[in-house]
């Protein structure tokens, strides 16, 4: 089978045709209906994170099963059959190593991260900015109904699931308790919307007016009151100033969940340990998510999230260029920041059906 996929190599992104072997036992092939460009794709292409040669890009997507192992099932135990609409996690985990046993499957000793692997590493089609992605047996998958649109579901495997992991780290909600989210990128926006669904009073801070407006359309407030301390602060901006501000905005006994900073060495912050100790603060780091978080995120998208205009966070679909062509428009749009996510529709436009 031949797959068209966006591949980053030596400073440029091009659509390459990858030759795939026969699908192996346990694997599931998914025709990508829509994919989205995440901030970490931009980090890879911008050189901010190390990337193997011929990195196959993209890890957010929604698609349709084109071929599946007869025994393949989703997280709910439903068999996966050709024609099923699915979303899927961005990692494959072994399920048996010490980290998987401790509930850290996203940090599995033999993890494969979709969107961050070289084309030489099996199963080769490891990116969603492609007409087909091949899922290993260790990838959490969920069937999704047809009524939920591509733009509504496209971030299920990264931004939404990470936001769900932030909620897991935040702990149970007290109705009406205030929460502050710093940074209204995709993770921050989904976090704010999910925290509000829990009944919290959510404030969002972001210096960009467009992002504040997008957050307000999700029903959260951006007029953060001066001097209010928060029992929960979510750091989703990724900046050193954001992290320091998060600590400063937490009330005594409060909790800071940090999910924004992911590039090692890019962010430093001065910290007085006595501040952490005497104010009895709890700081939790969240990077990626568990299968349970992924399911929590999808349940939210299909539950309370269905009543929100999440499509407004996502651009109209952009085609994936033909094989051999550069993928410029997509990344230029993503860098431009007019939308929290730029959506690519690989199977529908430009790309041929896999043969
Ligand atoms: Zn991502
Ligand atoms: Zn493992």
Ordered by start, the domain boundaries in the chain are 2-154+314-344, 159-285
Q: How far is the CA of 225 from the centre of ligand 1 (A)?
A: 31
What lies within 8 Å, CB to CB, of 31 at 6+ separation is 63, 64, 65, 66, 131, 132, 347, 353, 354
Name the DSSP letter for residue 78: P
Whole-model pTM?
0.95
Two domains, one topology: 2-154+314-344 and 159-285 = no
Both tokens of residue 35?
Answer: 């994919």
Please give the CATH architecture assigned to the domain spanning 159-285. 3-Layer(aba) Sandwich (3.40)
Examine the pLDDT at 353 and tell me if it is beyond 60: no
Mean pLDDT along residues 215-240:
95
CB neighbours (10 Å) of residue 53? 11
Q: Of the ligands numbered here, which is closest to the C-alpha atom of 92?
A: 2
Residues in the chain: 355
Both tokens of residue 319?
Answer: 């085609």
Q: Of the ligands numbered here, which is closest to the C-alpha atom of 60?
A: 1
pLDDT in tens, 35-90: 999 999 999 999 888 899 999 999 999 999 999 999 999 999 999 999 999 999 99
Per-residue confidence (pLDDT) for residue 182, from 0 to 100: 98
Query: What mean pLDDT value characterizes the chain?
Result: 94
b/e per residue 21-37 (b: at least 16 CB within 10 A): eebeeebbbbbbbbbbb
Q: How far is the CA of 136 from the centre of ligand 2 (A)?
A: 13
Q: Which of 309, 308, 313, 311 is nearest to 334 (CA)?
A: 313
Q: How far is the CA of 156 from the centre of ligand 1 (A)?
A: 10
Per-residue confidence (pLDDT) for residue 355, from 0 to 100: 34
Kindly report each contact of residues 102-108 with a partner whose C-beta sits within 8 Å and lies 24 or more positions away, as own/partner. Answer: 103/290, 104/290, 105/290, 105/291, 106/287, 106/288, 106/289, 106/290, 107/288, 108/138
Mean pLDDT along residues 108-129:
98
Q: How far is the CA of 158 from the centre of ligand 1 (A)?
A: 5
Q: How far is the CA of 173 from the centre of ligand 1 (A)?
A: 26
Q: Quick one: 262 exposed, middle or buried, by C-beta within 10 A (0-12, 13-18, 19+)?
A: middle
Q: How far is the CA of 259 from the centre of ligand 2 (A)?
A: 22
Confidence grade of residue 174 (pLDDT, cut at 50, 70, 90): confident
The pairing of beta strand 28-37 with beta strand 132-135: antiparallel
Q: Of the ligands numbered here, which is closest to the C-alpha atom of 110?
A: 2
Which bin fits 57, alpha (ψ -120 to 50), beta or left (φ > 0)? beta
Percent of the chain past pLDDT 90, that is, above it, reads 91
The helix (run of H) or strand (run of E) holding residue 43 is helix 39-45
pLDDT in tens, 246-260: 999 999 999 999 998
User: Radius of gyration (Cα) for the chain, nearest Å?
Assistant: 20
Per-residue confidence (pLDDT) for residue 348, from 0 to 100: 59
Q: How far is the CA of 159 from the centre of ligand 1 (A)?
A: 6
Q: Of the ligands numbered here, which is closest to the C-alpha atom of 111?
A: 2
The helix (run of H) or strand (run of E) holding residue 164 is helix 161-170
Mean pLDDT along residues 123-141:
98
Examine the pLDDT at 268 and tell me if it is beyond 90: no
Quote the CA–CA distance of 2 and 348 in Å, as a whole number. Answer: 16
Per-residue confidence (pLDDT) for residue 207, from 0 to 100: 95
Q: Phi and psi dihedrals of 100, rounded to 5?
A: -60, -40
Quote the CA–CA distance of 247 and 269 in Å, as a whole number. Answer: 11
Percent of the chain past pLDDT 70, that is, above it, reads 97
Q: How far is the CA of 40 from the centre of ligand 1 (A)?
A: 5
Q: Of the ligands numbered here, which is closest to the C-alpha atom of 98?
A: 2
Both tokens of residue 271?
Answer: 């910290």
Mean pLDDT along residues 266-273:
84
Which residue intervals of 231-351 are DSSP H helices?
A: 240-249, 273-278, 291-302, 328-336
Confidence grade of residue 350 (pLDDT, cut at 50, 70, 90): very low
Helix (H, G, I), strand (E, B) or coil at 336: helix
CATH number of 2-154+314-344: 3.90.180.10
């Amino acid at each position: 089978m031949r797959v068209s996929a966006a591949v980053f190599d030596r400073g440029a992104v091009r659509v390459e045709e990858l030759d795939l072997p026969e699908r192996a036992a346990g694997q599931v092939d998914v025709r990508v209906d829509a994919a989205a460009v995440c901030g970490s794709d931009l980090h890879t292409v911008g050189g901010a994170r190390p990337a193997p040669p011929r990195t196959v890009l993209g890890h957010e997507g929604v698609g349709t099963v084109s071929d599946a192992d007869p025994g393949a099932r989703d997280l709910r135990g439903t068999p996966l059959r050709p024609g099923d609409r699915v979303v899927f996690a961005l990692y494959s985990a072994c399920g048996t190593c010490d980290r998987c046993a401790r509930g850290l499957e996203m940090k599995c000793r033999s993890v494969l991260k979709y969107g961050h692997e070289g084309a030489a590493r099996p199963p080769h089609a490891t990116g969603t900015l492609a007409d087909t992605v091949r899922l290993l047996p260790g990838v959490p998958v969920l069937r999704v109904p047809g009524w939920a649109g591509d733009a509504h579901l496209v971030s299920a495997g990264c931004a939404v699931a990470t936001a769900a992991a932030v909620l897991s780290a935040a702990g149970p909600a007290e109705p009406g308790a205030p929460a502050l989210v710093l940074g209204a990128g995709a993770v921050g926006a989904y976090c704010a919307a999910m925290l509000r669904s829990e009944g919290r009073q959510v404030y969002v801070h972001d210096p960009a007016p467009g992002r504040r407006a997008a957050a307000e359309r999700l029903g959260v407030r951006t007029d953060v009151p001066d001097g209010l301390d928060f029992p929960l602060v979510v750091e989703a901006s990724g900046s050193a100033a954001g992290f320091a501000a998060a600590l400063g905005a937490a009330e005594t006994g409060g909790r800071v969940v940090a999910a924004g900073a992911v590039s090692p060495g890019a962010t430093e912050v001065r910290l007085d340990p006595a501040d952490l100790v005497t104010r009895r603060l709890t700081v939790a780091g969240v990077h990626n998510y568990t299968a349970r978080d992924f399911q929590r995120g999808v349940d939210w998208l299909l539950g309370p999230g269905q009543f929100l205009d999440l499509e407004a966070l996502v651009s109209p679909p952009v085609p994936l260029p033909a094989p051999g062509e550069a993928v410029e428009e997509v990344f230029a749009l993503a860098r431009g920041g007019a939308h929290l996510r730029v959506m690519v529709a690989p199977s529908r436009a430009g790309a041929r059906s896999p043969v």
